């Protein structure tokens, strides 16, 4: 589930299918019946959204729910998550409380564009993820870009590691590295050469300043690389 | 074999959490319970396992990781001597470290004057002002504006310390209005542009399920983020305290992010969030180590834009408080201000020297920055500062480019 500002119960937990409810009312009227609230607010008209889905999942294994970039949502949405994270339950006022048979594994991610509330932190375990070590990065790249040659993967991981030590507006992350390696692999590159790096720099540098900084430092970076061999 | 065999896990968890909290982390008793349960379930083959279990359960912020690291090192150096000895269960490992802290039951306010009673809990600092008011015999609410008018026009460097100390209160009141923005969240509002289906159908229940009344909704207004970047270099020395008060008032009032810089940029939002003025300012003083040094406005703004807090500037009202004496080249400031301008919603520049007669922004940095500012505001007296807050809170700044220096 991707978070954004203004995310409400209707997008995250559940929603009633109003169109079908109105239709049901019309049909009942045509039959000269009076519909009751208990006829309209039943499971038939309930639309599950990711959180309720995770709660009501009946599989053999507990489901895994990713709530991505929770810092992009607002405080109100954080408050919505409390019951779900604390008790693995969701309350639909008209129907009652649904409690998960197997509490789902929930992963929340945040880019720290906003401080998350302590109450939310309290219901989570906290893990801070650094840039991966070179060896780990190579493993990740090997899995995500299977088409790239082995020496290229190693060189690319090292190169990005050095680029990160430059004074950049946006240090390239793992996603950028994967894009870059993908681009290099698509071009059929087997060894890092200046021209290829410059051609594919758009995947690593995301501002004109960064582009200039990496291009300027390219010779140094390559020299280090050759010295390292 | 488990690392913690022979140790009472509950008291180990509580002891560790307690020490973590005393070092300023935010771990709670609930976290201690989770930690104890996690210890119970993990095999704990080596001390590092305890490190990771503890870090996951007890640490909630990146800034608390060093605190945990330090505590872990402290405890586990001691543990090598202590753990595994039968009978040491009641107060296992942690008692070896920092034992002197054990008997202090409640933290009081450190160093502050005792107010009336020596109760073991911290009383509200507001009590102090109440007592003061009684002493003077005038506890009328009108007292404030008249006092304000007496010192309102004095330059900050001429204020006496007592008035400076009260400054924070007045500034907090000045922030009664706050710039707002439209959020994506909807709220019910008569005549709003959207139909709230859920409420409409709820209302239809009363009219035999005929949706006779359409409940409308509109976008809610939210406080817009305010980012204050204050210069605390030597040339700003006379104003630094006042601006610290200003920053604290902003943090207290609503969604504000505050930074101070001289040669290095430091983020003051967490330290100034403390309710007590004295504690907040004292902590801020400890964070800003290069106070009253030289000024590097351009480099510091670049650092701010590059840091992970750079995204906080997006769509925010940015207020830079500085006299514009910059040791970086003006071209660099020109570049960074252009970037800042593109990211921020409004940019204001508070300059204490702008209040002087015949002020002209002729300092290189000031001249470079002005084209990117919505307004240059003088901020040399309390009145000017309160006026500046009013302009900043207004949200309706004049169109970009029309820069005015108001005296």
B202 and B265 in one domain? no
Q: What is the mean pLDDT of residues A124-134?
A: 90
pLDDT at B147: 57
B309 and B207 in one domain? no
Domain count, chain B: 3
Report if residue B177 sits inside a domain: no
Residue B134 CB partners (closer than 8 Å, separation 6+) = none
- pTM for the model stands at 0.71
Q: Does A38 touch chain B (CB under 8 A)?
A: no
Q: Is the pLDDT of residue B160 over 60?
A: yes
**Partner-chain contact B185 A21, CB within 8 Å:** no
Report if residue B75 sits inside a domain: yes
Report if residue B324 sits inside a domain: yes
pLDDT at B30: 87
pLDDT single digits (tens) B50-89: 888 989 999 888 888 888 988 888 887 765 544 333 333 3
Rg (CA), chain B: 27
Of A113, A125, A170, the CB nearest to B56: A125
Report if residue B255 sits inside a domain: yes
Residue B105: pLDDT band (50, 70, 90) is: very low
| Residues of chain A found within 8 Å of residue B34, distances taken between Cβ atoms | 125
Residue B113's nearest CA partner among B101, B138, B134, B131 is B131
B253 and B327 in one domain? yes
Q: Is the pLDDT of residue A224 over 70?
A: no
Strand B180-188 versus strand B265-267 pairing type: unpaired
Q: What is the mean pLDDT of residues B106-120?
A: 40
pLDDT at B116: 40
B202 and B325 in one domain? no
Count of CB pairs separated by less than 8 Å, A with B: 63
Q: Does A113 touch chain B (CB under 8 A)?
A: yes
The residue length of chain A stands at 229
Cβ(A56)–Cβ(A43) under 8 Å? no
Range of the domain at B90: 9-101
Report if residue B169 sits inside a domain: no
B254 and B203 in one domain? no
Question: In chain A, which residue's Cα lies nearest the Cα of B65?
Answer: A128
Q: Identify any residues that bridge with B223 across adjacent strands, giving them in sequence order.
A: B180
Cβ(B256)–Cβ(B229) under 8 Å? no
- Of B221, B250, B279, the last residue of a domain is B221
Q: How far is A221 from chain B (nearest CA, A)?
A: 22
B240 and B200 in one domain? no
pLDDT single digits (tens) B365-380: 888 888 899 888 888 8
Interface ipTM = 0.73
**Partner-chain contact B311 A18, CB within 8 Å:** no
Report if residue B353 sits inside a domain: yes
- Of B193, B221, B249, the last residue of a domain is B221
Of B57, B65, B183, the CB nearest to A6: B183
How far is B352 from B381, CA to CA, in rounded Å? 8
Mean of the per-residue pLDDT values for chain B?
76
- Of B101, B133, B166, the last residue of a domain is B101
Mapped onto helix, strand or coil, the DSSP state of residue B306 is helix
| Surface of A (69-108) touching B: CB under 8 A | 74, 76
B336 and B198 in one domain? no
* Pick from A88-102, B11-25, B271-285, B306-320: least confident: B271-285
Percent of chain B whose predicted confidence (pLDDT) is above 70 = 75
Q: How far is A169 from chain B (nearest CA, A)?
A: 5
Report if residue B268 sits inside a domain: yes
How far is B246 from A96, CA to CA, in rounded Å? 49
CATH of the domain at B361: 3.40.50.410
pLDDT at A177: 93
Torsion of the alpha carbons at B155, B158, B163 and B168, rounded to the nearest 10: 40
């Amino acid at each position: 589930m991707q978070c954004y500002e203004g995310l409400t119960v209707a997008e995250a937990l559940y929603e009633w299918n109003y169109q079908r409810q109105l239709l049901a009312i019309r049909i009942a009227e045509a039959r000269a019946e009076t519909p009751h609230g208990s006829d309209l607010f039943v499971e038939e008209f309930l639309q599950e959204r990711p959180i309720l889905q995770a709660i009501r999942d009946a599989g053999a294994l507990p489901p895994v729910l990713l709530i991505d970039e929770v810092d992009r949502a607002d405080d109100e949405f954080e408050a919505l998550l409390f019951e779900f994270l604390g008790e693995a339950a969701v309350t639909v006022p008209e129907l009652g409380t649904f409690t998960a048979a197997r509490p789902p594994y929930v992963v929340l991610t945040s880019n720290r564009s906003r401080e998350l509330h302590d109450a939310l932190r309290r219901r989570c375990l906290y893990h801070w993820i650094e840039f991966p070590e070179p060896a780990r990065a190579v493993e990740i790249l090997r899995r995500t870009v299977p088409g790239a040659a082995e020496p290229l993967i190693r060189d690319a991981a090292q190169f990005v590691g050095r680029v990160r030590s430059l004074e950049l507006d946006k240090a390239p992350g793992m996603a950028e590295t994967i894009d870059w390696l993908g681009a290099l692999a698509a071009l059929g590159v087997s060894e890092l050469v200046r021209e290829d790096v410059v051609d594919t720099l758009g995947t690593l540098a995301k501002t004109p300043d960064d582009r200039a900084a990496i291009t300027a430092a390219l010779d140094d970076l390559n020299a280090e690389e050759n010295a390292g061999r | 074999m488990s690392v913690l065999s022979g140790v009472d896990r509950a008291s180990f968890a509580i002891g560790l959490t307690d020490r973590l909290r005393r070092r300023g982390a935010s771990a709670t008793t609930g976290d201690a319970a989770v930690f104890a349960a996690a210890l119970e379930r993990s095999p704990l083959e080596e001390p590092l396992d305890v490190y990771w279990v503890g870090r996951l359960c007890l640490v909630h912020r990146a800034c608390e990781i060093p605190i945990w690291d330090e505590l872990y090192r402290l405890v586990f150096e001691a543990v090598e001597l202590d753990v595994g000895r039968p009978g040491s269960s009641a107060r296992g490992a942690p008692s070896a470290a920092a034992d002197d802290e054990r008997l202090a039951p409640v933290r009081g306010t450190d160093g502050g004057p005792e107010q009336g009673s020596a109760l073991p809990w911290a009383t509200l600092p507001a009590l102090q002002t109440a007592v003061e008011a009684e002493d003077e015999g005038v506890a009328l609410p009108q007292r404030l504006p008249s006092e304000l008018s007496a010192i309102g026009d004095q330059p900050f460097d001429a204020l006496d310390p007592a008035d400076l100390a009260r400054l924070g209160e007045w500034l907090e009141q000045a922030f009664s209005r706050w710039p707002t923005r439209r959020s994506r969240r909807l709220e019910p509002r008569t005549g709003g542009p959207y139909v709230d289906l859920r409420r409409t159908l709820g209302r239809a229940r009363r009219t035999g399920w005929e949706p006779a009344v359409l409940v409308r909704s509109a976008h809610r207004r939210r406080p817009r983020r305010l980012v204050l970047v204050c210069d605390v270099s030597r040339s700003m020395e006379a104003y630094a305290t006042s601006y610290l008060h200003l920053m604290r008032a902003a943090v207290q009032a609503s969604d504000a992010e505050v930074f101070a810089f001289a040669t290095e940029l430091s983020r003051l939002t967490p330290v100034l969030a403390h309710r007590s003025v004295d504690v907040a300012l004292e902590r801020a003083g400890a964070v800003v180590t290069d106070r009253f040094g030289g000024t590097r406005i351009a480099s510091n703004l670049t650092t701010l834009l590059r840091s992970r807090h750079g995204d906080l500037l997006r769509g925010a009202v940015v207020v830079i408080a500085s006299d514009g004496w910059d040791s970086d080249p003006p071209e660099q400031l020109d570049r960074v201000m252009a970037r800042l301008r593109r990211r921020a919603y409004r940019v204001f520049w508070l300059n204490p020297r702008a209040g002087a007669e015949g002020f002209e922004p002729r300092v290189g940095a000031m001249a470079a920055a002005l084209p990117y500012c919505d307004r240059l505001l003088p901020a040399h007296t309390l009145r000017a500062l309160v006026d500046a807050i009013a302009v900043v809170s207004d949200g309706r700044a004049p169109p970009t480019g029309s820069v005015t220096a108001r005296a």
